[in-house]
Each structure stands twice: as C-alpha cells, then as structure tokens.
Amino acid sequence: MRVLITAGPTREPIDAVRFISNRSSGRLGVDVAVAAMSRGHDTTLLLGPVSVQPPESTPGGPLRIYRFESSSELKQLLEAHWNDHDGLIMAAAVCDYRPTTVTEGKLARDPSRPLTLTLEPTPDLVRRCAAVRRPGQWIIGFALEERITLEQRADAKMRAKGVDAIVANPLGTMEATDITAWWLEPDQPPRPCQRMSKREFARWLIERAEQLHQARHPASPTAAPEAES
C-alpha cells in the first residue's frame, strides 16, 4: 500500500524570528514511517521542525521526505500528495491557533506595555483530507487529551473529522520514549494498548493500517515480511 505519514509540530510565525508551537518531538511519526517502509510499503513522510532525524535509509529502502514548518505549508504538501496515496496517518501535532497577522521583520520590544496577539484557528487538515478522499482511501487520526476525558473526546473528534480510526493518547506521550494509547474505530468499543516503546507501537499501528487497507481492498496482497534491520 502507499501510505502518507505526517510527523512533528508546526511553527506558526509571529514575526521573522518568533513563532507559536508545541512540544511534539515527531519521534512517533518517524518511527511509524520507518515501520511502514520495513514492511514493504511505499511511504512518504511529511516532517515538521524536529530535533529527531529519520534515518537516511531503512531496511525497506530510502525514505521519501518532504519538510514543512507551518500549518499552511503542511496543507500545501497534503494537497500535493494525498491523492497519490492509499492511506494517511496524521501523527503531526498541528497548532490549533496561529497569529492573524505576521509582522515583517522583528517586533521591537517595548517594556512599557504588554504585547497582545490575536489568534485565529488553523485549518482542520485531517477533516479537509477526509472531505476530498476518493473511494478506498483511509485515514488514521490522533487525539492528545487529558486522561479523564480521553476516550470521549477522541471519539467525538473521530466522528467530527470523518476518519476511519483514531489513536488516543494522554498528554504525557509528548516528548516521552514510550506510549500508552487507545485505538478507536466507529461503532466499536475503545481498545486499550499496553504500554510499549514508540518504536514497538509504530509496528503495531502499521499492522492496524494494513487491516484497514485490506478491508477496503480485499484483492490487495498482504504486506511483505518485515526486513531485518
């Protein structure tokens, strides 16, 4: 299958040197891309500004990577590549808000008065992809929420965005090396996943993606055996 994966945060500019962002490391999305390549899938990774770097090559071959900074740049990349893929795994942490205006150059510091920023919602990129997908395409989304409302809010997001499944994980997942998540599909009870490393979870997630793909393309061949690393 041809799988499109997004990873990392966005940076929404305030001026030429400042921006709004979040704590996403991008580690999980990179691991998912490597896992997909290792199982023989044609993989494209849209990668944000991260400190963790993907390997130049994987057991399945070289990884195709396109870089983005802002949600606008990610939107352009999704518009360019989504139609050419069978599935989308939206692991990127897109900022919910961005400044309504971006100052040219650098804002001058004025200690005598506070600085007020006016923010606007960023586009719901997952929902946009769901709205224009062709028959047979599938989408896996992500929800990062407080544990006490995790399952309810993830289920609501899944239905509002029109995705086929969603990975729900608590706030502690950000910057961590392991993950405890819940897998949700429409009209099915949430499925908890045992605590595991992000690399192990990435392989587990690709197996779930293969199941989604197989359900929509019964005649498609199964994944190739995972290559030795």
Distance, in Å, from the CA atom of 228 to the CA atom of 51, rounded to the nearest integer, reads 26
DSSP string covering 162-181, please? T-SEEEEEEGGGTT-SEE--
Task: Please say whether the beta carbons of 209 and 164 come within 8 A.
Answer: no
Task: Please say whether the beta carbons of 184 and 153 come within 8 A.
Answer: no
* Residue 83: active-site member: no
In the structure encoding, which two tokens stand for residue 158, read together? 């899944």
Catalytic residue among 13, 15, 21, 22: 22
Using alpha carbons only, what angle is made at residue 189 by residues 141 and 138, rounded to the nearest 5 degrees?
A: 30
The catalytic residue positions are 22
